[in-house]
Amino acid sequence: MATLRKQYVVSRPVFSEDSFAENYEKINRIHKTTKDHIRQYFSDSKRVKKAALSLLPVIEWMRSYRLKQWLMGDVVSGVSTGLVAIMQGLAFSLLASLPASYGLYTAFFPVLAYFLLGTSRHISVGSFPVLSLMVGAVVTRLVPEDGPPAMIPAFTNLTQDQQRVLVASSITFLMGIIQLAMGVFQVGFVVMYLSDTLVSGFTTAAAVHILVSQLKFVLGLTVPGISGPLAIIYTLEKLFVQIHSTNICDLVMSVVIMVVVFIVKELNDRYRAKLPVPIPIEVIMTIIACGISYGFNFTERFKVEVVGEMVSGYEAPVAPNMDIIRDGGVEAFPMAIVGFTVAFSVAKVYSIKHDYAIDGNQELIAFGVSNMFGATFRSFAASTSLSRTAVQESSGGRTQIAGLISALMAMIVTIALGFLLEPLPRSVLGALVIVNLKGMLMQFTEVPYLWRRDRIECVVWVGTCTAAIFLGLDLGLAVGLGVELLTVVFRAQFPRCSVLANIRGTDLYRDRKDYLHIYEPPGVKIFRIPSPIFFANVEFFRNKLIEAVGFNPLRVLKKRNKALRKIKKMLQQNNYHITETLSSSPEEDHEDQPNLEEPDSPCHMKDLPFKVDWRSEMASDLGVPRVNLQSLLLDFSAVSFLDISALKGLKAIIKEFLRVDVEVYIVSCDAHVLETFHRFAFFDDEIQTFMFYPTLHDAMVQVTETNQSSNYKPMLKATRL
């Protein structure tokens, strides 16, 4: 602490903002307008070329591809990722309520487009469980399991599965358009609004939905897909009603697989350092299950539902259906946002780790095109999956070449090996989906942590999660966003205001309640406004300020004006000559148009033959409260912005104080906020720029000297003029 024994010595003139501006001339900076920015942007030919290049990032990184060093890793990584992608494709297509083969499409088409357009070198593009579930919600709403499908002309002559694929690809196409548009209009920053807390609450809710949606496969029951608010409750109800007809074979197989996969995954985690590659337990279990199911003919013997016939090869492209787009349009928005947010946050993690740049807007374009391209070939919504990307990166993938190879693997299965997967029981896929939810469900443990640290943040998490569970993912996301935006307003809305006082012998001012030896000059109040002022808290500050000074200036002003009228009347009765009559006094005129912004008019004493000293004893005899405050200092250092409501409210309260003869000073105002004052024509003949001071101490030095020299004496001053 010895180093801190240095002296802080300052000797300079006292400055107000005005005198400071006089002494130190400000450079007249010309701020560029938006138009200038745009013109400059396009006039730079290099930049245009660069922008054009940045639309195809593949050119950039392929040029610098180190064939010898990277290719091996990419191939190994591509093969491992491909296995996972095939597995997940099959499983997540169940979430989307689609035949399993379309999951393989999703592992193929979007990857091709992303290869050309994406800026992340490590993410594995393809199906993402939450997104698949959101697709599934639209699919089952428009084409329910039982009951007729929605009235869409294009549905005639299609099988139920074909209808569903049409719905999924149309909605995916729309999602792609939305993402592309967001990318083109450079609004990728909207993902910033999805804070970690919100995403955590949302994905946890999604995990719950996924869990519930897979129960029917695990139990071997048939439950129609239900969507809309409270769907989860109805689904659970339908499950429990028929719990007695559970398919024991399905259940046993699922439980065995879940337990084995869970244990092996834990072992993989624990001995990560020692294992050359993690054991691909999911692939192994799938192969075993396929074999057993085929060997013992599970379909016939135990009525186990299997994946069934796979579409071999690719189908002709399909145009998105406008009726479906119109009907499911609202649901495509949250899908576009969720899909991009997840992919971008995963991409960011790896871009930081491997130190390369990714571009949010280019990513939006890449995912937009990927989804539109994929949708034309009947694949459904693509983003990335955390686990698959982790495999791709940890097994040595360096570039999207790995992604390309994984896509080729999916293609091989689609074209040639699909028949091998036909005997795979659906319950196995369901079990694999469920066992992979562990990480997402474990996010529940964040709640007690958040509760201890920050209640508001906890409310966001719990609010988003419960809303997303009970109202559905799309509505839940909207509610979560609303709650989150409200928290920002809320934090700024009810801050802890304080009255400051001087730490003796220094130029520092602190909350007077916090320190013992603190000096508050008589007749001076320093009120600190510790947050921006806007429509929702301007009333709050007004009340706090009135509480702090101990009187309501408007009320005092009204009382004074009333007393003045009384005095004038008395004088009139005593035949004094008064120029103005009562009826036409300016106060009366005002009262016809009550206006919150304009306080009562100031006391007019010009037509009185003497001056009334409102601080005298006589004042209280007239029923006017005495005001001991002479100067009010408002500490604006934390006021980072003001809106119109704030300026109106501020103007009103400052005028009220000025009219009861309290000097008001605004201190430590940010340069930008000061500009706001000027722009809004805040100043008039009552409120002027000399009120502004750069520091509290400047204002205080000024104020205390003025007060001393003003010869303020508590005596009746009613001398005739």
Interaction with a second copy in 37-96: which residues (CB under 8 A)? none
Listed ranges 39-47, 132-140, 507-515, 611-619: which one lies at the site for a second copy (CB under 8 A)? 507-515
Answer yes or no whether residue 357 interacts with a second copy by CB under 8 A.
no
Which CB sits closer to a second copy, 513 or 720? 513
Shortest approach of a second copy to residue 118 CB, angstroms?
A: 18
Those residues whose C-beta lies under 8 Å from the C-beta of residue 305, and which sit 6 or more positions away, are: 217, 220, 250, 299, 425, 426, 427
Shortest approach of a second copy to residue 688 CB, angstroms?
A: 14
Those residues whose C-beta lies under 8 Å from the C-beta of residue 417, and which sit 6 or more positions away, are: none
Pick one of 265, 555, 565, 604: the residue that binds a second copy (CB under 8 A): 555
Answer yes or no whether residue 514 interacts with a second copy by CB under 8 A.
yes
Distance CA 354, CA 348 (A): 10
Which CB sits closer to a second copy, 215 or 669? 669
Answer yes or no whether residue 511 interacts with a second copy by CB under 8 A.
yes
Tokens 């409210």 belong to residue: 649
Answer yes or no whether residue 269 interacts with a second copy by CB under 8 A.
no
Pick one of 516, 574, 720, 721: the residue that binds a second copy (CB under 8 A): 516
Shortest approach of a second copy to residue 655 CB, angstroms?
A: 14
Answer yes or no whether residue 279 interacts with a second copy by CB under 8 A.
no
Q: Indicate the length of the chain as a whole number.
A: 721
Residue 273 contacts residue 258 (beta carbons within 8 Å):
no
The CA-to-CA distance between both ends of the chain, in Å, stands at 63
Distance CA 327, CA 300 (A): 40
Shortest approach of a second copy to residue 30 CB, angstroms?
A: 12
Pick one of 161, 323, 422, 507: the residue that binds a second copy (CB under 8 A): 507
Pick one of 451, 515, 551, 712: the residue that binds a second copy (CB under 8 A): 515
Pick one of 311, 349, 447, 605: the residue that binds a second copy (CB under 8 A): 349
Shortest approach of a second copy to residue 252 CB, angstroms?
A: 36
Pick one of 241, 638, 716, 718: the residue that binds a second copy (CB under 8 A): 638
Burial label, 428 (beta-carbon count in 10 A; 0-12, 13-18, 19+): buried
Distance CA 278, CA 282 (A): 11
Distance CA 123, CA 114 (A): 10
Which CB sits closer to a second copy, 196 or 237? 196
Distance CA 214, CA 82 (A): 23
Which CB sits closer to a second copy, 49 or 491? 491
Shortest approach of a second copy to residue 588 CB, angstroms?
A: 10
Shortest approach of a second copy to residue 199 CB, angstroms?
A: 10
Which CB sits closer to a second copy, 62 or 555? 555
Listed ranges 11-19, 69-77, 92-100, 108-116: which one lies at the site for a second copy (CB under 8 A)? 11-19
Answer yes or no whether residue 554 interacts with a second copy by CB under 8 A.
yes
At 379, list the tokens. Answer: 């694949």
Residue 623 contacts residue 563 (beta carbons within 8 Å):
yes
Which CB sits closer to a second copy, 241 or 485? 485
Q: Give, as ranges, the residues between 197 and 236 that touch a second copy (CB under 8 A).
A: 197
Which CB sits closer to a second copy, 306 or 347? 347
Answer yes or no whether residue 707 interacts with a second copy by CB under 8 A.
no
Q: Give, as ranges, the residues between 391 and 420 that touch a second copy (CB under 8 A).
A: 394
Which CB sits closer to a second copy, 330 or 715? 330
Q: ∠298-300-302 over CA atoms, to 5°?
A: 55
Amino acid (one-letter) located at 21: A
CA distances from residue 413 to 75, 240, 311 in whole angstroms, order as listed: 17, 37, 11
Answer yes or no whether residue 14 interacts with a second copy by CB under 8 A.
yes
Judged by CB under 8 A, how many residues of this single chain contact a second copy? 107
Q: Give, as ranges, the residues between 613 and 632 that touch a second copy (CB under 8 A).
A: none
CA atoms within 13 A on the CB side of 286: 20
Q: Give, as ranges, the residues between 359 and 388 that touch a second copy (CB under 8 A).
A: none
Pick one of 211, 532, 542, 712: the residue that binds a second copy (CB under 8 A): 532
Pick one of 70, 298, 350, 692: the residue that binds a second copy (CB under 8 A): 350
Distance CA 392, CA 384 (A): 11
Q: ∠510-511-515 over CA atoms, to 5°?
A: 85
Q: Give, as ranges, the residues between 641 and 700 that touch a second copy (CB under 8 A).
A: 641, 643-645, 648, 668, 670-672, 679-680, 694-695, 697-698
Pick one of 294, 519, 535, 551: the residue that binds a second copy (CB under 8 A): 535
Q: Which of 165, 115, 122 is nearest to 408 (CA)?
A: 115
Pick one of 160, 242, 572, 640: the residue that binds a second copy (CB under 8 A): 640
The helix (H) or strand (E) run that includes residue 609 is none
Answer yes or no whether residue 326 interacts with a second copy by CB under 8 A.
no
Shortest approach of a second copy to residue 637 CB, angstroms?
A: 5
At 301, list the tokens. Answer: 């013997």
Where does residue 595 fall: left (phi above 0), alpha (psi -120 to 50 degrees), or beta otherwise? beta
Pick one of 233, 236, 322, 508: the residue that binds a second copy (CB under 8 A): 508
Pick one of 46, 63, 244, 517: the residue that binds a second copy (CB under 8 A): 517
Q: Give, as ranges, the residues between 446 and 505 that touch a second copy (CB under 8 A).
A: 450, 453-454, 456-457, 482, 484-489, 491-493, 495-496, 498, 503, 505
Answer yes or no whether residue 389 interacts with a second copy by CB under 8 A.
no
Those residues whose C-beta lies under 8 Å from the C-beta of residue 443, and which sit 6 or more positions away, are: 200, 201, 203, 204, 207
Q: DSSP states of 641-696 as a string?
A: -B-HHHHHHHHHHHHHHHHTT-EEEEES--HHHHHHHHHTT---SSS-GGGEESSH
Shortest approach of a second copy to residue 565 CB, angstroms?
A: 15
Shortest approach of a second copy to residue 550 CB, angstroms?
A: 17
Pick one of 151, 192, 243, 316: the residue that binds a second copy (CB under 8 A): 192
Answer yes or no whether residue 591 interacts with a second copy by CB under 8 A.
yes
Which CB sits closer to a second copy, 217 or 509? 509
Which CB sits closer to a second copy, 73 or 495? 495
> What are residue 628's phi and psi, to 5 degrees?
-95, -5
Those residues whose C-beta lies under 8 Å from the C-beta of residue 569, and which sit 6 or more positions away, are: 582
Answer yes or no whether residue 711 interacts with a second copy by CB under 8 A.
no
Shortest approach of a second copy to residue 237 CB, angstroms?
A: 19
Q: Which of 571, 560, 565, 570 is nearest to 623 (CA)?
A: 560
Shortest approach of a second copy to residue 180 CB, angstroms?
A: 23
Angle, helices 455-471 vs 446-453, to 10°: value is 140
Shortest approach of a second copy to residue 509 CB, angstroms?
A: 10
Shortest approach of a second copy to residue 279 CB, angstroms?
A: 17
126-148 burial: b if 16+ Cβ within 10 Å, else e: bbbbbbbbbbbbbbbbbbbeeee
Where does residue 681 fall: left (phi above 0), alpha (psi -120 to 50 degrees), or beta otherwise? left
Answer yes or no whether residue 706 interacts with a second copy by CB under 8 A.
yes
CA distances from residue 53 to 47, 351, 400 in whole angstroms, order as listed: 10, 20, 18
Listed ranges 58-66, 174-182, 331-339, 527-535: which one lies at the site for a second copy (CB under 8 A)? 527-535
At 51, list the tokens. Answer: 């922008």
